[in-house]
Chain A
Amino acid sequence: DQQVKQNSPSLSVQEGRISILNCDYTNSMFDYFLWYKKYPAEGPTFLISISSIKDKNEDGRFTVFLNKSAKHLSLHIVPSQPGDSAVYFCAAPVNGELTFGTGTRLTIIP
């Protein structure tokens, strides 16, 4: 059973606009949520995280929002740049293991 779900396999956004990537979860016991970014032929790299006691965390162009009542989090990228084209995974740690969503491929259109 997928505890972390990314229902949009792909997303295309114009350069300079906002990119919004979504993630839903089922386990209300998650303490943290993480976003990873993955380029082709490379391993995932950590992007940003949020604690379950917060509803927002910001790092430069990247902001993650957490809505615990809806069991939903989103990653906002503003403004979007060509280098942001990648696959984005949301993940949550449970019992020392990371559970990953299936990923969303973001394409930034110049």
Chain B
Amino acid sequence: NAGVTQTPKFRVLKTGQSMTLLCAQDMNHEYMYWYRQDPGMGLRLIHYSVGEGTTAKGEVPDGYNVSRLKKQNFLLGLESAAPSQTSVYFCASSQTSGGANEQFFGPGTRLTVL
């Protein structure tokens, strides 16, 4: 049981390049989330999904797109990377969105945009 995994772990992009971050979970969770963490800012929600085939915007969605074609996978795309997107990206999943909404996090992807 690997929990939540993310690939890649590190990536360096040039401004304007595109990339996709992959998140996979093996806990059969319905809900999946993408966050970014910046110094002094805590974790901020980018997009989330309440089930296969659904996506929704979070607090900071601009410049990102997501897809949830399979229940276990949640992809985060950057179509044209900007230096402001330099950050650490975390994926998370949860079984429900109610109650305490305990979320399980992946190890993160550190992205640098030059």
Contact = CB atoms under 8 A, between A and B. Distances in A.
Interface string A58-101: 00000000000000000000000000000001000100111011
Given A43-B90, A89-B43, A102-B42, A96 B97 contact: yes
Nearest to A96: B97
B100 A34 contact: yes
A97 B90 contact: no
A16 interface: no
B42 A101 contact: yes
Identify whether the interface residues of B are mostly helix, strand, loop, or mixed.
loop
Given A9-B40, A43-B4, A49 B50 contact: no
A98 B45 contact: yes
Q: How large is the interface on A (under 10, 10 to 19, 20 to 34, 35 or more residues)?
A: 20 to 34
A96 B97 CA distance: 5
Contacts of B102: 34, 46, 49
B104 A42 contact: no
Interface of A: 6, 9, 31-32, 34, 41-46, 49, 51, 89, 93, 96-98, 100-103
